Amino acid sequence: WFFYMMCKHPHVEARILQELKGLQSSTWPGDLHVFEWDTLRSAIYLQAALLETLRLFPATPFEEKEALVDDVLPNGTKVSRNTRIIFSLYAMGRIEGIWGKDCMEFKPERWVSKSGRLRHEPSYKFLSFNTGPRSCLGKELSLSNMKIIVASIIHNFKVELVEGHEVMPQSSVILHTQNGMMVRLKRRDAA
């Protein structure tokens, strides 16, 4: 989904490329440049774009929980013990009351503070890595790996959607595309 968003928002891709320009990378066979995780710590906008992608396209589009005790939801709905509750992370990432009037827009800037640092969003608001005692233990490792992979790909290749190929979400246990995502990779000039 990240590369889909880069194809749809070339200004975001350009800003990430500018951010990566000043960072050191290792050269691999074939003159490919690969970034190390510690080098990418300062790539705030790259991480913001990844988080924004996860907000709009969470890996798991829905969650299921079970009430341990009788409870009442904030809207007054009574929930009995052992009741299963299913909620949509996909929908929650698009709720105006949580994310603002621009909730349907892809805006990595929402994750960057005025001082240029990564803005922390509470885990109950951004549930891509779950929340509470069942929060994902691998969150930081996952984000680090995503940054390494996407930075290395975007630095070396221009990813373009194949013209006429429609990309639509397919809800399943994992959020994927109905018909895949057909792209063309074009080698970027070494710089």
| pLDDT value of position 121 | 87
Other residues' Cβ atoms within 10 Å of the Cβ of residue 161: 17
Q: Summarize the annotated binding site as residue ranges.
A: 136
Q: Is the pLDDT of residue 191 over 60?
A: no
Mean of the per-residue pLDDT values of the chain: 92
Each domain of the chain, given as residue ranges in start order, spans 2-187
Output the six-digit token pair for 98.
Answer: 């949580």
Q: Is the pLDDT of residue 171 over 80?
A: no
pLDDT tens, residue by residue, 116-156: 999 988 888 898 888 888 888 999 999 999 999 999 999 99
Quote the pTM value. Answer: 0.90
User: For the stretch 40-57, what's the b/e string if a residue is b when 16 or more beta carbons lie within 10 angstroms of its beta carbon?
Assistant: beebbbbbbbbbbbbbbb
Residue type, 79: V
The CATH label, of 3.40.50.300, 3.40.50.10320, 1.20.120.550, 1.10.630.10, for the domain at 2-187 is 1.10.630.10
Q: Summarize the annotated binding site for heme as residue ranges.
A: 136
| pLDDT value of position 130 | 86
